[in-house]
Amino acid sequence: MIKHHPTFELLSLFVKGELPASLSAGIAIHADMCPVCQAQIAQLTEQVAETDFEFEANFLDRFIVEEGEDLEELPINNFDQMIADITETSDITAVPAKVEKLISFNDTEYTLPSPLNNMSLGKSSNFGKLSRTRLQLNEDEIHTSLLHIEPGGGVPQHTHKGFELTLLLDGSFEDENGEYVKGDFIMLSGDHQHHPISSKGCLCYTVANDALHFTQGINKLFNPIGSFIY
């Protein structure tokens, strides 16, 4: 059962189209798995639509023709022609069939969520029981990846200088705060430390705007390669 969801603020920014593509895709993927967030997004979308409608109605009130006004001088006078231009063609554009996009890690094949279908994937890199494939979104300091953890693998205890989103696409992992399952949306800041371990293996969608920083024992020696994972 999904226990971790985007905040109300993130959902609001998602509906308004004000999030980076990486975070927007993460919320869209989570919502496909989560009826609770689907309902919240639908409600927020309706509220935004009502607000936009009221704005447009007030805007169009400026073009109401008063008695004695010259219709030719109003910007609205080409409305009929505009509609005619839009509807003059009878061509119908066929909707392409949905094609599933697959990715494999160590002979395990996964079907990617549909919001990722049009995103280009980089080459996979491996480090122990961790494999990472970058998503090529060109968002400067924001890095988006698919992170695969083999059974028995994990990420040493770490924190981040910025934010870290981990969305579970398959499998499960555990850290100091409990177990996370498919669909869980975990948003952490630099104030959090955790040590994810996956006993059965998992695939995660991750977004971070800075490298992770190992915080415990000998693992601190790996800080120069902290950007490998996120």
Distances (CA, A) of 162 to 6, 92, 157, 177: 17, 47, 16, 20
* Confidence grade of residue 5 (pLDDT, cut at 50, 70, 90): very high
- Phi-psi region at 149: left, alpha or beta (left = phi > 0; alpha = psi -120 to 50): beta
Measuring CA to CA, which residue among 132, 75, 71, 140 is closest to residue 105? 132
Give the model confidence (pLDDT) of 72-118 as tens digits: 554 555 666 666 766 676 666 666 667 789 999 988 899 999 999 98
Q: Over the stretch 156-205, which tens digit does the pLDDT of each residue have? A: 777 767 788 999 999 999 988 899 999 999 998 867 777 899 999 999 99
* 6: nearest Cα among 172, 193, 184: 184
**What is the per-residue pLDDT for 27?**
98
Tens digit of each residue's pLDDT (9 = 90 or more) over 129-142: 999 999 999 998 89
Architecture per CATH, 102-228: Sandwich (2.60)
Predicted pLDDT of residue 86: 65
Q: How confident is the model at residue 144, as a pLDDT?
A: 95
Tell me what the pLDDT averaged over the chain comes to: 81
The domain spans of the chain are 8-87, 102-228
Percent of the chain topping pLDDT 90: 50
Indicate if the pLDDT at residue 13 is higher than 90. Answer: yes
pLDDT at residue 94 in the model = 66
CA 138 to chain centre: 14
Three-state DSSP at 53 gives helix
- Residues 9 and 24: their CA atoms lie apart, in Å, by 13
Q: 21 burial class (0-12, 13-18, 19+ CB within 10 angstroms)?
A: middle
State which H helix or E strand residue 127 sits in: strand 121-127
